[in-house]
């Protein structure tokens, strides 16, 4: 009998305060996101650097955000006027000053649902950020990937390169996974056990689909 072992990474997302990140460092997460996007640029660097140093001493990977996404996630809403694209000119200083392993970029992506007109991503900005990050050994992360078309995610033709070809190596699709869970709950079931099982299967289906889309399926030893 074959026993398949798939490595799993547990990531702490959007750590907006020192106390919760300090707790996450003690709980055994594999990586943390230091979210100082609500702070000024200089304070974001100081906040991220502080947590990054502690996390690295424990062998954890560190993700941070430069710029700020609009939209809603976990009951926190950032209005459009508060959103800010990632500044390429600041990115090098930010990476040098924090020592991060991954950079969550803001290129027009949003948390939650996109408007009826669809996403309007600055792929030219993504290309420039990827060039900079790759020189520094930093992974490019795209939050707000729920609702992105396959054409935006992957290469569509020799004339059109998607986000993967432009350097994104981690996508966040929280909204689509939660949507599948909630839609499953609206279908009548006989018992709570069946409700929970069905909801989990709905989430697993979305995750499996995204893993194949992002090219991460079948990579375990």
Domains within the chain, CATH numbers bracketed:
11-172 (3.20.20.70), 174-221 (no CATH)
- Tell which residue, 122, 49, 134, 128, has the closest CA to residue 83: 122
Q: Tens digit of pLDDT per residue, the chain (221 long)?
A: 566 678 888 999 999 999 999 999 999 999 999 999 989 999 999 999 999 999 999 999 999 999 977 555 554 444 454 468 899 999 999 999 999 999 999 998 887 788 888 788 999 999 999 999 999 999 999 998 898 988 899 866 555 688 999 999 999 999 999 999 999 988 877 788 889 999 999 999 999 999 999 998 888 87
Task: Put the strands of the sheet holding 31-34 in their side by side order.
Answer: 11-15, 31-34, 61-66, 102-105, 139-142, 168-171
In angstroms, the CA 31 to CA 13 distance is 9
Handedness of CA 112, 117, 122, 124 (dihedral sign): positive
Strand pairing class (61-66; 11-15): unpaired
Q: Give the catalytic positions in this structure.
A: 13
């Amino acid at each position: 009998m074959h026993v398949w072992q798939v490595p799993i990474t547990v990531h702490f997302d959007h750590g907006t305060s020192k106390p919760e990140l300090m707790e996450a460092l003690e709980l055994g997460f594999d990586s943390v996101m230091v979210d100082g996007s609500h702070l000024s640029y200089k304070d974001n660097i100081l906040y991220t650097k502080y947590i990054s140093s502690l996390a690295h001493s424990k062998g954890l990977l560190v993700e941070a955000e430069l710029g700020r996404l609009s939209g809603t996630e976990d009951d926190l809403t950032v209005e459009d006027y508060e959103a800010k694209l990632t500044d390429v000119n600041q990115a090098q200083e930010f990476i040098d000053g924090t020592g991060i392993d991954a950079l969550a970029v803001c290129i027009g992506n949003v948390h939650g649902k996109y408007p009826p007109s669809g996403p309007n991503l600055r792929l030219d900005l993504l290309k420039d950020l990827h060039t900079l990050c790759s020189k520094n050994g930093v992974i490019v992360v795209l939050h707000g990937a729920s609702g992105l078309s396959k054409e935006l995610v992957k290469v569509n033709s020799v004339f059109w390169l998607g986000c993967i070809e432009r350097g994104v190596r981690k996508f966040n699709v929280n909204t689509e996974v939660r949507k599948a869970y909630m839609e499953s709950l609206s279908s009548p079931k006989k018992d709570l056990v069946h409700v929970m099982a069905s909801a989990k299967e709905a989430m697993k289906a979305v995750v499996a689909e995204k893993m194949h889309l992002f090219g991460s399926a079948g990579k375990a030893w």
